[in-house]
Amino acid sequence: MNTEMNRELKTERYLLQRELWPASGRHIMAQYNEEAILVYQAYNKKIADYAVQIQKLNGPDWSSTRMTWIKTNFLWMMFRSNWARKKNQDHILGIWLKLESFNKYLRMPDSEKGTVRIQDPDHYPSGDRHPLRKAVQLGLKNVQGFINGDDIVLIQDLTEFVHAQHEALENNLDELVIPEEKIYSIEGLVKQNGLEEKSHLILLSYRGKQKPIVMYGRDEKELLDLVFQKFKVKPKSITTLTGDVLTKELLNVLPKGSTLFIH
């Protein structure tokens, strides 16, 4: 576990961020870097104190049979916990997950014994639903890497920050500051690999293995050829990170750095 990771939470005024966020669609909005992605969870004091002190969640008050819901979206967590004022949700933890672990969770099939992905309406600071934009939350049940800390880089207690921002919200929306969030993608790999602007770096995922490809167009045949080159399979279907089946129309607007899942 890398406890030397920068512990400073990057924040910005809500009203400034609101202008930069997509107005509609299904998105994974999150704070992340090259190492980890920040997710949120609400617990009672005993579970939260143990998790922060030991940097693991499997304390004496943890239930391995429960489904725990993690959110990458701060305001969704505030809606769910009523700004850390609900019973047994009065402590908000910021859990920095390894990027490869988070991607692994996204690839897991929905199951009562494993991971469940739910796309719910995003929320305003007031708790009202956003009419056009949806956020993703992940339900984890008995996922050992999450429970024993192997998938976790750092656990932080954000409760004091939450209380301070709830007070700011009640005084004046202009004063509200929340964690910085942007659409989660692997677009940063484009710069790391020195690719040309006209190229499109795409991450292919098949049976737990991930391989990057470079597309120079938006052609379905080019994509299928690259899939076969990388995995020696002819896919029955290809889906996006949000679970949509890839169509010609989606391929034409697919952002650089997107992840595609081969089935």
Give the pLDDT confidence score for residue 89 in this predicted structure.
Answer: 95
188-262 is classed CATH 3.10.20.10: yes
Q: Model-level pTM?
A: 0.69
Q: Domain ranges for the chain, please list them.
A: 11-183, 188-262
pLDDT value of residue 150: 94
Distance of alpha carbon 104 from alpha carbon 209, whole angstroms: 10
Q: What is the tens place of the pLDDT at every residue in 13-22?
A: 999 999 888 8
Count of positions (residues) in the chain: 263
3-state SS string over 73-141?
CHHHHHHHHCCCCCCCCCEEEEEEEEHHHHHHHHHCCECCCCEEEEEEEEECCCCCEEEEEEEEEEEEC
Q: Which of 61-65, 113-117, 135-139, 146-150 has the highest mean pLDDT?
A: 146-150
